[in-house]
């Protein structure tokens, strides 16, 4: 359970940190790196490539919760028509808290997404099987992310 939680948190944090980095803007690009900023999901622009690779087309990445066979899962999708790819299972909660440049909390869903400067990600997972006499154990991870270029 701990490794699943750490792996899921690490992936989310790494990608959210890169939101808006090396953008390929066009006339139809949205203002800012974040397309949606809800309490239980986030959608942002993730550009591909770096100095050593050819620049890839930017894509909209979404992290959120979904259920399959009665189990709540953390998912990631990278295209509008795609379904979620499972990142972690047995998720009890996923919460995003958004902050502006002054450290004030922005109410979710955030309407003025270009004001987002920091994001707190809270992920709660539980064990697959309960322990005898104790029930399910849980782990709560918190991480604070500062995107590289949130308002490109």
Task: Give a yes or no: residue 151 inside a domain.
Answer: no
Task: Give a yes or no: residue 132 inside a domain.
Answer: yes
Number of independent structural domains in the chain:
1
User: Is residue 60 a contact partner of residue 78, using CB atoms and an 8 Å limit?
Assistant: yes
Task: Give a yes or no: residue 100 inside a domain.
Answer: yes
Question: pLDDT tens, 66-121?
Answer: 999 999 999 999 876 778 999 999 999 999 999 999 999 999 999 999 899 999 99
Task: Give a yes or no: residue 150 inside a domain.
Answer: no
Task: Give a yes or no: residue 11 inside a domain.
Answer: yes
Question: pLDDT tens, 27-36?
Answer: 445 556 899 9
Q: Which domain holds residue 63?
A: 2-23+32-49+56-145
Q: Compute the distance between CA of residue 55 and CA of residue 34 in angstroms, rounded to an integer.
A: 20
pTM value is: 0.85
DSSP state of 129: S
Tokens of 32: 């800012």
Task: Give a yes or no: residue 92 inside a domain.
Answer: yes
Q: Compute the distance between CA of residue 123 and CA of residue 143 in angstroms, rounded to an integer.
A: 9
């Amino acid at each position: 359970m701990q490794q699943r939680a750490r792996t899921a948190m690490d992936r989310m944090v790494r990608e959210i940190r890169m939101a808006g980095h090396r953008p390929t803007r066009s006339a139809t690009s949205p203002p800012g790196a974040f397309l949606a900023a809800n309490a239980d999901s986030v959608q942002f622009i993730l550009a591909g490539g770096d100095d050593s690779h050819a620049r890839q087309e930017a894509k909209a990445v979404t992290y959120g919760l979904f259920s399959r066979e009665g189990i709540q899962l953390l998912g990631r999708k990278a295209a509008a028509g795609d379904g979620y790819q499972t990142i972690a299972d047995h998720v009890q909660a996923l919460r995003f808290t958004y902050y502006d440049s002054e450290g004030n909390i922005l109410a979710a869903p955030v309407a003025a997404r270009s004001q987002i400067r920091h994001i707190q990600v809270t992920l709660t997972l539980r064990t697959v099987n309960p322990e005898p006499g104790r029930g399910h154990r849980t782990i709560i991870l918190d991480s604070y992310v500062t995107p590289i270029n949130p308002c490109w």
